[in-house]
Structure formats: structure tokens, C-alpha cells
Structure 1
């Protein structure tokens, strides 16, 4: 039975999943309008089968590894169930195949296609999965057909060599044409190249010909060859045979129809693509070469280059290459251009930033088109609506609010502003009409012909995406409008969904990161404000409002994402894979169960309030459960989470009312990401060590609302009387009725006695008793079993050395955060760091006295261990007094954060930091230096200092009198963030920072007048801007 399941599963995946993601499935949906809906329904059905097959195989994989002998009967029962399910899937695949035959031409025969009565030149592209023999046999049957031999006097079969040799290509065609018309081949040897070209032109202009081009491997080759064959309106035919599915439909034409020619087996089929409209040739008149068109068409590449050079010699040229789509295209074109005069110019337009950077090595020659500012956008909009420039705020104040909402959706892009303004110019100038447009912009884009240009342009950007990026982009429709999507969250979700997988030593997370940047390069998503936390400067993104409408439309069309929100359809069509519940949906359980088919949901994302019926045992295929920021979620709501055996991603981040994780969590053997940061969990359950596939574990770091209490609580815990009092208070609260805390609990959370007891017993009492740092969680012994972990933080290591010994074995760790370092465990801690050779990011925190002082010295009486050499990010939070000497040797360090370190040697510290040759981001936060009467930070420029530093943050340094930048200091600094501590601080030397773009003042600033700062920034040649936040 197991063998049957695996065999059927492999067949289903090879057939259904491969076909669903092939070019055939994509192109099949681009037929005539009459057939469009039918074809799209068929493609959806194929996708559904593929998804179900994938789910079924994963289900089988989970139950295959049930280890316990006592659960053997249940395991066998599950396996039989899955095997039966796979047989059903196989039947569905066959049904879909039979259904697909309704969408292809009947009597599918290549002879019939070739013999169709039509005077125009037709191109028929043939592609299949059965190998060269299958393709050749199909085409040869038609080629040797007596009726076809009689109809076409000139026939030729040519194998396309790579690269194409124009002379050999023409000679082969002429030789076979001569045989067809009965001319001797002997005289062919004596002919010159020009005579051969003229003879070929005579054949293709005067005769009805049939040409088979075998082995076409790229669309570029076809573009070179097709101009050799003019439309002589004699019913000529070209058969293009190619093994590349990407090429076949392009050669057949943009509006190709597909038919099945022959089926060899379940996964070996031959298809033909043929265009429904006559093949149109574009005249080459751009340089006045129309008269010599055929001659140019027959030239080789070298001859064409010489011809272009002779035509452009001595002329000033302006050449525009529009919509370049790859660097390979540029390289091919660039080498073909002659050496132009210095006054000539080539303008390249592209949608991708990476291509622009490749085309011009000089960054000054790269221009990114900027969107219109608010004022300019409003002016353009009102001019289009009223057909003249007016002051909308004065003349039509009732329209200004709706106008701003419309312009927000346009995001400063001229095209949608002009299109929407032109449409509204013919509508009543009423706020109600504009409000309707705002409320139904998606439907208007879909149905309104006056706005079709917007959808066409935006859809072109989407259509140009590779298949894998299309899925990633459509996935973004899960998030609400204007939602700031955190980069790390998105990447981990993509990996869990299978959109990004490990490839040749590159992790799924790295692949997802590449996808993220490619979507930004293509302007499909917009980077949020530059972040000081990310090395690339981007840690979040947003989706352009109109692009989001495209994303929603496409994802709904493909049944990929269903957004449960106020005003949504009460009937979801088809199977929903990803469910997003918006904060404005206030339905009840019965509505939820009627609208949503829970059995096939792969991801559940909740925004806003939690309801207990949002999750159920029916969601057995759930891979992603993202409850980040959900209000009202309590511990008892997670009791059944251990039954979601497919779960790979679980986020409870910022769920303040979660105090512990259920022990059933250990059942989630597929879990890769667990994010419980900013919850109230202080200890992880023992079951956590069973999660062998866990890669990413983020915990602790309590919510911002508790930060003000931290210092006071720490001091109170040093008094035993206060500890006992805290015990007593916690016990009283736990025993009292929930009504006591009802006023302070969120109204929709429905607190019960168990939740209150849990809060006291699992959080308050242990926290008080152990005197823990709330920034870290306690992990159980045996955490070394989590061998796949690459991110772990923040954990408490202050209550024993066993956890450090476990950490030492997590050799894949790249990111680690710890609290509780003290002099008692400092030697073991340093040994642990020394063993983690792959560590790239380290965060260390210690509260109070003596803090980190003397705890980070790697000598420890022994020279057998040293700090990780690959560290690129380091955060030190706690009393340090003096910077450890080994920091100077971290040559790969990119980011450094110091907080509460109380450093006393200011100049020495800056001297060490300035020698970190790869340091890009430096954050000196509250109490990073010891308070002193004459505390000054002077960044000297006598010697090379901070040569790569682009971001500097100075925040809350008490008694800091001045910050001065000397000439030559920080030559590439772009962003300076400053917030005063206790006392006023003056900023000097801002004009000496040649690359400074922005100065951000946080909070109140009293050091000197803001006007003085603006004046000094005005003397900076780079003209940086000043912002107040």
C-alpha cells in the first residue's frame, strides 16, 4: 500500500504539479474572450489538483515517520487513508486531462493545420515531453504527406545550429528548394553569396513553401530567422520544432491556440501552437532601409555591424533602447554598436534597478524617475478633471478630502493620475461620485474602459515577472492596505509556504531574500523608510495601492488568497489556500463556517481581534499560523495547536496575553519558525527540544508598555521583603474572580479564571522568585537537540552552565541573543562563543551591577579560545566600563550597538571603533558613556576614520556637551540620528560630512537653535535635509 501511494504520488506530482506550473498552463489562459473564462476554470482545476497532491504527499511523509510501536495501528490506518486519497487524485488528474480536450481543437492533426485554406503565412510551433523522436515522427508524417508535397513546390527541413550561420542556413534552404522544383544542384557550387541570396529571395517571394526549423532553442534565434520569410500570401507554412516550452508559444504568436497532436503516455504529450491572426512583419524603416529589407534580413551579424557602422559614421546619434529586460540583452546589443562619437547618447529604459546599474558603471548616469510630490500630483489631477488649473481647496473644498484619497492610491504616478482625472472630467463633480470611485477602485480598473490603460500597464509589470516571483507577489495581498510588511516575517513565510527552497548550498531564507530584493528592483513593492537595523537599509516594504489592487484581483482569480473583511463576498468560490481575517470583520461563528472551507487552508493570518472559532481541528493542512499583534488571544486558545502537524511557521509576536506554550507544541515536527517575541512567556516547555527542524526561535523582549517598570522592578527584587509581598499579591489575584481584572483586561478577550491563574503561576511568580531579566526566556536542558537552529534569542543563561554546554553544540547558529551573563559563567560563555564558528550576529545583555564588566575577556587564563571571526553584528547592553580588546579584531563587523555600557575612555573607545574597517552602522545609545561634566564626542579626520560608516545614531547619552565632526571624519556618512539625553548638546561640523543626506532630530532639542543647524546644513555641498520626529 505504501509503495502504491508513493508511486501514484510521484505520478501525480510529475503530471499535475509540473503541468500546472508549465508554460502550457499559463498560455492556455490567453485565448479568445469567449473561451477565457472556460480556460481559466480549467487552469484553476489543474492548480487545485497539484496543490492537493502536494498536500497529500506531505501528509504521507508526516505519518510515515511515526516511531512508536503502540501507535502502529493508527499509522497504518493513516497510510491507507492517504493511499486511497492519492488514487482519487490520480483519477482527478485524468478527469482534468479529459476535460482539457474540450478546450483544444478537435481532429487535432498537423496535416490539417498545414493544409488549412489561408493565403497568409502561418507559423506552427510544436513542443512536447516525449523527446526528439516523438517530435520528429509527428512532423515527418506531415512533411511526407502526398497532399502536402503536391501543395508546396518548395519544401525544406533545416536543423538550426547554435549560433545561427546565415550562409549555411540559406544554402541549405536553397539546395532543398531546388530539389523540389527540379533544378540541378551542380550550378549551386559556382554561385556567389550575393547570387545565392537573390535566388533565395526569389523562392520565398514567388513560391508557396513549407519550411521545418528543427531544434530552435531560443526566441532570439527565431527573431533573427523569421525576417527571412516574408508573407508572400501564397499559403506558405513554417513549422518550428523546439524542446523549450518558453519558446513555443512566442514563435506561434502572442495569441496562440494550443492543440494536442499525440499522447504517448500520462506524462508524454505533443502539443502544437498556431496563431489565429496573420503573421505581421515590422518594416525596418527606422534608418530608411526599407528598400533593402530583404538584403539586410539575410546579412550575418558581422555584416550587420559593419552596415550600422557605415550608416552612423560621422553622425551624432541618439539611440533609445526601451524596456530592456535582462543584462544578457544589453551585452548582446552593446557589442553590436560601433564606436560612437562622444556627443552621441544611448538611453536605456528598464523596470529593474539591477539592469540599470549593469548598463552604466557610472552611478551619476543612472536616473530613477521620481514620483510627483503631493502638490504637483494635485495640480495635475485638478487640471485633468476641470481641464484647467484651479485651486481645488478654495473653489471645491468638499472635494479635497476625496481627491487626496484618490491621489494616495496613485502614489504620485502620472499615468493613473491622468487616467483617473480624465475619467472624472466627464462625471458630476460631486463628493459622492468620487467617494464611489474610491470605494470600488478595483472593480473600476477591471471594467471601466477609460481606466483600462492603468490596468494594462500595471498588469504588464506583473506579467513580466518570472513564475516564482508571481507567486511571491500575489502572496502580498494577504496584508491590509498601507500595512508595513516586515522583511524577515515575509521571508520566513515564503520559505514555509515552499515559495523559496534550499538550492545548492543556499538556504531558503537567502533565496527568499533575493526574491524580496528583485521585487523591489522591479518596483513591484516599495521599500519603507530606510532602517538602521538592516544591513541593506530595508527592513520592511509596502505595496503600491494600485499594484495591491492588481494583486488582490489576480490572487482572487486564482483562488490563492481570500480576505475575510467587512463587505466581502459571503461565498468564496473554489478552494481557498490562504485566509486573511481583517480587523474590520465582525461576523459570528456560523458566518465564518459558511464562508470558509477550512480543510484546505494552508495559511491563516489574523489582523486585529481574536475569536476562538478562527482556528479549528479541520485546518489540518495549515502550514502558516501568523497571529502577530492579535489582541485578545489567550493561552487556552492554543490548546489544540499541537494537532496542526503540517505547521511550519507559528508567530505569536506581540500577543501580550500569552504566558506559556502548550506541551503539545512538541508534536509539530515540521515547525521551522517560532516567534514569541514581545509576549509574556518567560520559560519554554520541555517539549520544545523535540522540534528537530526548528530553525528560527525568537523569544522574550517584553512589550514596550512594560519598559518603564524595568529599573524599579530590578531594584525591588533585591529586597526579600518585597519578594514575599509580590508572592502574596500574585496569590491573591490568582484566587480572586476574573471580575477584578475585567476592567484592565481587553474587552474582547473574555478572561477566565484559568487565564488569570496561568498569568500568575507561569509568569509573575517565577519572574519574582527567580529574579529574572524579562528580556530573556529560560530554555530547558537538551536544547542541543535543535540541530537545525540558525537563529536563537533571547535566552537566559544566568542560572547554570548546562545551557551554555548545550549551546556549544548548536554549530549552525548564525544569530544568538543572551541575557544573564555574569562573572560566574563568563568563562563558559566565552568558550561557547568560541565554539560557534558560524556565528554572525551576537546580542549580549546584563542588568545592574557589575553588569558585563570583566565578563567578555577571552583570555580567561587560557589562549585556547577566541571570539567568532565572522561576526557582522554585535549588540552590547550592560555596564562594561572598558571596551574589550578583541572587538578591534572583528574585521567583518558591519553593525555595532552599545547601550548602558558606561564606557569611561571616550577617545580610546572612538579610536578602537574607527579602526573597524567594514563598520557601516554605529548606534551609541543611552548611557553608552559614563556621565561626566565635560563629555564630548570628537570625530577626528587626521587619520582615516569610519571609512565605510553610513549610519550613526547618538541617543540619550547623558551630560553630553557637544558632538563635533572634523574635516575628513566619516567621509560616506549618509544618515545621522540624534536625541539628547539629560542636558543640552551642540552639534558642530555638519558641513564637513560630504555625503550626509539626512539629519533626524528625535524628541526635543535644546543644544542650539534649529535655525543654526539648518544654516550649517546649508553650507554642506550635499544639501542634506533636517527632519524632526
Structure 2
């Protein structure tokens, strides 16, 4: 939203001018410089008022030209404030790092620098006064906005009465199974009152689907009473109660005469009377908040008559009001159904058949709708009244984004999606707009995205949670609100990856353009807008070439992201030389083999990612990146970090390891990096990947009690006592990887004795003492562990009995490249929570036995390259919860038994089988 720039400027004002008082450094400076903190406070107050004003008027920003012009001025001021603050902090940092004599020598420089900053802040203050005066001069138009802060019709939810009176059977395409399931849930065999939820993002057809079933049930007179209530965002309990009483009573003609004047308690009693001893069907359409249902719930009596309440929503939290077995998540239409719906809408005068000369173009147009029924129908309606020729269709294809943004006939599509954005909490709007900059179908990784949000300043501390934990919550919340589409969970159920729906992205981009939030296509950059570009993403070589050839001047660029392996050394040199305010450099997978020596000039850099590049070393000037928080060097050629890295006191995350063996055939296929001793003094570190164990490093690790994620490799048995004593100090550690130096030298966990631990994920490469998992630490804290991976284990005793007893909540278990016996037995009662079992390259394993009552929740079983396993696992058919079985590269005898005994039929309950 419009307050994005204002919020960022505010957050920096609040935190930055309290760093140090100028008087402590420059006692004889001019009054203007000494007054700088007070000027900053006045600007902060003014920005805060502007922020509250913008929050109140909401998306009416985009429907009022006067306000839109005023916002452009506000945004420029906020950007200037941010730039000045960064320069102030840079000079303060230099001052704090210099000794007394250097300060004396450089006194004139600092005096001039702070005086210049003070003058610019004074100019900003004057500009703020002018902005306030403009608002007063045009107060009539501004007051009009404040008098009516409801959102304009362009972003309101479509009401049933306006759009859905006459839904034809033909309108329902690709939803037959959903209709049948919903109808089944309304069956009166279940006499308890049942809450059903139908959810998904705007435009998927939730209301249309439910309305069809609702009308069908009304025709059958299956229920005694019916009510359809559009709840929407501005829920009012009194209004909703009155609507329910009125609709439910329409069939009996008993509407109370004093309904309009009843207070809440009396309305509640009246509704209970209406519903008493009746089988009712109530639809609560477009519910945004669980509060709406919770406030109604006590009034919706349950007399065990088989009543049903259907909730439609975009929000997973609201959908969760229904029992898990009564939740329906709608997904976009598949390609065939999407094309059929398009043809039904577009070619009604041609028997709903697409002419052959338009098939290819129609397919391209439909694909851009991303399976969204509302968009497909709207585009179809637009084209239905056009001449069916290639020129018209090609124009729609080429101008799809523009049509979506400004064609009045597509207003319903914009409205359905824009309202989701309009009602996003403020803390999520910047995060959402940020995602829109990335290319279409880009796969967002949680690990990458949350760190970018943090360094951009979008995430604020909440209670005792770390910024990363808060940002994880934002990521999940955007998925729950259907703004991002879940693609992948990790092994213990946490969200790992998601995508943005194409149409949602296009609408987000339209908001982003109005906000000057970020730029993903420099070919559309007008010269007069250069100063507004704060974030730039390039995804093609042509864009990189255009940027380097033109040496485009973007004086306020703060974020540069290169996707699709397009960044090169020349571009990086250009960025460092021209854009001193850069805070984010995301260059993963780029063909870079070295870093310019002057990278230290980027004083504002907070995030540097060189993951999977060919870089072999870092220049010494990196010591000047005093604001750096994330340094990602994973899978580069770097073997040793320079000692200067230890001067980066704000570092929170270091990813630095070398992939030495891509085929993972050897124990040390990932090799750690040699860190300078000073790294262990960086007390803000939360992530350290991967430390090469030395006598010194394992001792120094005890200085990092705040670590959440730690990987240590090349661990010798002789180092284990000191190493695990150091790790025992890390009370927040939730993920630990330990890799041995020698496959034949077992790791000793005896010294692992934390006072408390939050460890959830444990990976061990190499073997361990046979009694390891019976140690007190695992007996006491093993209940927290949900993920366990064991690789290259040459143990001679079966660890599974002790693992099962000490880690009862294990969800994921992986055993690879090592086994202790010809047989593995999984006994009854073992691993009651396990959902995934992964066995790979256990060349000794000949037989796998699963007793009845073992693995009662197992959903995924993966058996890869078990070259001695000639028999199908005994008892496999007993695992009734199994959903996926993947068996690959097994001996021929295995396949013979599989076919002979018709195992595919025995496992008919398994949804996905690959053998």
C-alpha cells in the first residue's frame, strides 16, 4: 500500500537517531547539527500522522487523483528520509570505530558531513510542512475520503443478489466431484450439526459452487429452513442476526415486528427460537475472520436434526472452523476444464466450439488465466461480443496485463482479487508486493524469502520471537490467506516453498507500479521515474545487457535481485560503482568467479548471496560491510573465509560450505569452511553452516549460545567431548548436523548434556557409539526431535529400538549408505508419529519386516537402490495409512515377486505407487 515507504522511513527514524548523540563526538559543532535528533523527532511525528491517514483511506488512494498526486510527494520525502538516515548511520559507525587521534584528524570531514545531513533534514522538515499545507488547501477532497472510508465498488466483494440469481448447470465446469462431495456432506445421516468449509483464493468459484448446491437443496426441500448471509469483512453481529432471523422466517411468515429495534441478547434468543427443533441449512458466504462465526455459534442451536452450516472463505484459519473431514479446498481448473469453460463463455453462438483458426491463441489466453474460473469467464464474456478473428484474439493475448488492469468488463476479476489485498494486514502488504517482483511461476523458498523481508525492514520484533520466527509466520499467513499457493512442506510439516498465482501476480504488480515499490522490467522504465526505483529484479540476459550498456542511473536503488543465472562480473562492477545505497544483492546461481575488490564501498549492504556461484575468495574490503546480516556462500569454491569477516558484528546468518562430491559417494561430500577465530565472537549469529572441526573451533563454538542452526563436519572422536560440551550451551538450537571425519571412527555423544534444548532436526553422518540413543539427553529431550537422518553408518548394533523409545514424536526418518544387519525389523508400537521412512543404498539389507501395529501413521515409504533386497517387505500391506510408495533400482527378484503376488492389488489403498 501507499504507506510502504512511510513505514520504512518511520522504522529507521525510530531506531537510528538514538544510536549516539552527536555531542558525544563533536562538542563544538554548529547548533544545527546538534539539533538534528530534534528535527528527526519532528519529522517522525509528521510521518506517523501521514501513515495513520493513509491507513484510514485505504485503497481509495487509487480512486482519487488529488490524493494520488499528494502520495507521490509523500513517497519521495520518505525515500529521502531513508537515504539520509543511512548516510547518518554510516558516518556514526565510522566515528565509533575510529580512535581518538583519527577522530581529531577527520574532525573537519565529520563536521561537514553532519552539517550537510542536518541541512538536508531541515529541507525535509520544510517539505513536510508544505505537504501538510497542501492537504489543508485541498481539505474538501481529503475530507470526502475520510467521511466515507469504505472501499469503492471496484474492490468490494460481489454480492449474491447482484451476480448469482441465475446460475446455470452449464456454468459449473470442472467442479462435478466437488458438488457431489458437498451434497454428500449435507446428507441427513449425520444428525449432529456439522460445519462445512469451502475455501480458496478469490475467483475460484466458491460462492458459485455452494450456491448451486444450496439451490438444489432448496428445490428438494431437504431442510426445514434456509438462509444465505453474505458476511464479508465488515462483520456486524447485530446486522447478521437480523438477516438470519428475517431469512429463516420468510418461509413461515413470522418476522418479529420489533426486529429492527432488538438489542443483541434479544436477537440471540429470537434466533434460537427460530432454529429450535428444525433442520436448517445456513450459508455464511465470504467470511474473513473466525470472530464472525464464533460470535454466532452459540445462537446456532444443535437439536441433532442434521443441520448444516456452510462457510465460504479465503482464509485457512476460518476454514479450520470445520472438522478436517468437512473442509474443501478449491484449486484452479485443469487445462482441459479451463478451455471448456472458456469455450462455453466465448462461443455461445457456435455450439460452444472453438474455431480451428483460434485454438492456439485461445489456449494462450486461457493459460494466462491460471485456471481461475472468474477470470476465464470474464475474458470469455469480453471476447464473446468481439469479431472471432485472429487480430482481436492476438490483441487480447498481447495486452492481457493491461486489459486485466483497466478493462471495465474485467472489473469483477479485479474486485475479487483486489479485496484480498485491500484487507491484508499492514505487516503483510510489503511482503506480498515484494513477491510480485519475481518472475511468473517463480518458486519461493521460505529460507530465502524471510531473510530478504527482514533485511528490507518489513519484519518487526514481536515478544520474545526472533525476526526469523516472525517472518516465518508472515510466510505461513500469506498462504493461509490464499495470497500465495503452497507447493511444498518439509519433512516435519513446515512450509518450504510456494508460488504466486499468475492472475494474483498481475494484480499485485499493478499495485506495485502505483506504489513505485519495485521494478521487474527495466524496458518500461521512464526517465522521469528513475529516482523512484528502489528495487530492481532482472531475469533475462537482455535486461542485464540493457542495464550495463546504458549504465542506467538509478540513484536510490537499494535492492538488486538477479534470477535465472543472468548476473555477470561486469554487471556487479557497475552495481558497486553506481549504487552506494544497495542493501540487498541476490546473485545466486550466477556465472560469477570473482568479486570486485571494492565491494566494501556498499556500506549499506545487509544481504549478500553468492550461493552456487564459482567464487573462490572474498576481497579484504568486505570488512567495511558493517551492516551485513546474511552472508550466503553455500556451494561456492570458497574454502577459507578471510579474517576481515569477523569484523561484521551484525552478521546473523553465515552459509558457507563447499560441495566436494556432487554424487555424495563419500562421507565428506560437503566440506566445511575454515573460519577465522573472530567469527566465534559474532554473538548475533543464528545460523552457522558449515564449520570444519578443529581443536580450536570446537572449543570456540561455546561463545555462540544464540545459534539456531549449526553444521559441523570433519569431526574426530577426540574432539567430541569439547564439541558437545560447547553445543550443550546452545539452548535455542533447533537443527544440528554432525559429520564425522572417518567412517570407521564412531562419534561420542557422552558430553552432550544441555540444561534445555529445542532440537527438532538431527543429522548424523558417520557411525556412533552403540548406546548413543540411550543417553540421558535423548531420553529426556528426544521427545522434541521430529527429523532424524543417519548416513554412512557402520554400526554393528540395531539402533532402531532405542531411537523409537527415545524419539516417540519422530515424523521423518532417513537411513542412507550404511546398515547394521541383513534384516531390519519394525516392531508393533514403534514410531507412532512417523510419516516418512526413507531407505537408500543399504547394500547389506536383505529383508524388511513390518509388524502389525508398527508405523501406524506412515504415509510415504521410499526404498531406493537396496541392491540386496530381493523380497517385498513383509507386512507392507498392513500399513493402512500409506499414501505413497516409491521403489527404485531394486534387484530383478524383487520385481518378479511384486508381479507374481499382485502387490499392486494388495496395496489398492495406496494412492501413488512407483516400482
**TM-score, structure 1 normalization:** 0.70
Q: Contact 2:344–2:352 (CA<8 Å) still a contact in 1?
A: no
Q: Contact 1:559–1:573 (CA<8 Å) still a contact in 2?
A: no
Out of 734, 737, 753, the residue aligned to residue 840 of structure 1 is: 734
Partner Cα distance (2:450, 2:409) in 1 = 38
Q: Contact 1:700–1:794 (CA<8 Å) still a contact in 2?
A: yes
Q: SS of 2:580's equivalent?
A: coil
Partner Cα distance (1:813, 1:493) in 2 = 19
Out of 525, 528, 533, the residue aligned to residue 576 of structure 1 is: 533
Out of 858, 865, 871, the residue aligned to residue 759 of structure 2 is: 871
1:508 aligned residue = 467
Partner Cα distance (1:828, 1:802) in 2 = 10
**Structure 2 residue 643 is the aligned partner of structure 1 residue 615:** no
Q: Deviations over 1:207-235 (max 9, x none)?
A: xxxxxxxxxxxx9898859999xxxxxxx
Deviation at 1:431, TM superposition (A): 6.2
Partner Cα distance (2:891, 2:365) in 1 = 37
Q: Contact 2:378–2:413 (CA<8 Å) still a contact in 1?
A: yes
1:176 aligned residue = none
1:1008 aligned residue = 895
Deviation at 1:433, TM superposition (A): 5.1
1:306 aligned residue = 269
1:94 aligned residue = 129
Partner Cα distance (1:323, 1:666) in 2 = 53
Out of 462, 484, 488, the residue aligned to residue 421 of structure 2 is: 462
2:812 aligned residue = 921
Q: Contact 2:743–2:794 (CA<8 Å) still a contact in 1?
A: no
1:43 aligned residue = 71
Partner Cα distance (1:542, 1:41) in 2 = 33
2:310 aligned residue = 347
Map residues 657-806 of structure 1 onto 2, 5 A cutoff: 657-702=614-659, 706-708=661-663, 711=666, 775-798=671-694, 801-806=695-700
**Structure 2 residue 865 is the aligned partner of structure 1 residue 980:** yes
Partner Cα distance (1:786, 1:838) in 2 = 16
1:952 aligned residue = 837
Partner Cα distance (1:226, 1:536) in 2 = 37
Partner Cα distance (1:456, 1:448) in 2 = 12
Q: SS of 1:105's equivalent?
A: helix
Partner Cα distance (1:376, 1:840) in 2 = 45
Q: Contact 1:993–1:1020 (CA<8 Å) still a contact in 2?
A: no
Q: SS of 1:610's equivalent?
A: coil
Change in 2 beyond 3 A, CA 1:970/1:627:
same
Partner Cα distance (2:886, 2:348) in 1 = 41
Deviation at 1:621, TM superposition (A): 2.2
Q: SS of 1:677's equivalent?
A: coil
Change in 2 beyond 3 A, CA 1:879/1:487:
same
Map residues 197-596 of structure 1 onto 2, 5 A cutoff: 287-288=249-250, 295-357=258-320, 359-360=321-322, 362-387=323-348, 396=356, 402-427=361-386, 434-532=393-491, 535-564=492-521, 572=529, 575-586=532-543, 588=545, 595-596=552-553
Change in 2 beyond 3 A, CA 1:675/1:392:
farther
Change in 2 beyond 3 A, CA 1:812/1:510:
same
Mean Cα deviation higher: 990-999 or 285-294: 285-294
Q: Deviations over 1:760-807 (max 9, x none)?
A: xxxxxxxxxxxx975210001122210011110111113xx2222221
Q: Deviations over 1:256-302 (max 9, x none)?
A: xxxxxxxxxxxxxxxxxxxxxxxxx9996663499978722221222
Q: Contact 1:830–1:867 (CA<8 Å) still a contact in 2?
A: no
Partner Cα distance (2:837, 2:689) in 1 = 25
**Structure 2 residue 117 is the aligned partner of structure 1 residue 59:** no
Partner Cα distance (2:53, 2:896) in 1 = 64
2:800 aligned residue = 909
Q: SS of 2:840's equivalent?
A: strand
Deviation at 1:411, TM superposition (A): 3.3
Out of 928, 936, 943, the residue aligned to residue 823 of structure 2 is: 936
Mean Cα deviation higher: 910-919 or 476-485: 910-919
Deviation at 1:409, TM superposition (A): 3.3
Partner Cα distance (2:287, 2:900) in 1 = 44
Deviation at 1:579, TM superposition (A): 0.9
Higher relative contact order (CA 8 A, sep 6+): 2
Q: Contact 1:524–1:543 (CA<8 Å) still a contact in 2?
A: yes
Partner Cα distance (2:293, 2:453) in 1 = 31
Partner Cα distance (1:368, 1:898) in 2 = 36
Partner Cα distance (1:377, 1:441) in 2 = 17
Q: Deviations over 1:493-534 (max 9, x none)?
A: 1111111122221111111111111110011101113433xx
1:244 aligned residue = none
Out of 580, 601, 612, the residue aligned to residue 654 of structure 1 is: 612
Q: Deviations over 1:842-886 (max 9, x none)?
A: 101134443xx3332316xxxx95697432111111244746233
1:172 aligned residue = none
Mean Cα deviation higher: 814-823 or 406-415: 406-415
Partner Cα distance (1:366, 1:337) in 2 = 19
Q: Contact 2:238–2:264 (CA<8 Å) still a contact in 1?
A: no
Change in 2 beyond 3 A, CA 1:421/1:1013:
farther
Partner Cα distance (1:339, 1:282) in 2 = 16
Partner Cα distance (1:124, 1:426) in 2 = 40
Partner Cα distance (1:880, 1:391) in 2 = 68
Q: Contact 2:405–2:507 (CA<8 Å) still a contact in 1?
A: no
Deviation at 1:23, TM superposition (A): 4.7
Deviation at 1:449, TM superposition (A): 2.8
Map residues 960-979 of structure 1 onto 2, 5 A cutoff: 960-979=845-864
Q: Deviations over 1:330-375 (max 9, x none)?
A: 2211123344453221111111111221x23x31122222333333
2:603 aligned residue = 645
**TM-score, structure 2 normalization:** 0.78
Partner Cα distance (1:392, 1:929) in 2 = 61
Q: Contact 2:278–2:305 (CA<8 Å) still a contact in 1?
A: no
Q: Contact 2:67–2:142 (CA<8 Å) still a contact in 1?
A: no
1:276 aligned residue = none
2:193 aligned residue = none
Partner Cα distance (2:883, 2:283) in 1 = 32
Deviation at 1:560, TM superposition (A): 0.3
Partner Cα distance (2:698, 2:792) in 1 = 24
Q: Give the length in aligned residue pairs.
A: 785
Mean Cα deviation higher: 961-970 or 584-593: 584-593
1:892 aligned residue = 784
Q: Deviations over 1:27-69 (max 9, x none)?
A: 1752795xx2332232232233224323423432332232213
Gaps of 5+ in 1: 114-121, 128-218, 229-280, 715-771
Q: SS of 1:922's equivalent?
A: strand
Partner Cα distance (2:324, 2:455) in 1 = 37
Deviation at 1:672, TM superposition (A): 1.3
2:189 aligned residue = none
Out of 996, 1010, 1027, the residue aligned to residue 882 of structure 2 is: 996
Change in 2 beyond 3 A, CA 1:530/1:1027:
farther
Partner Cα distance (1:444, 1:539) in 2 = 34
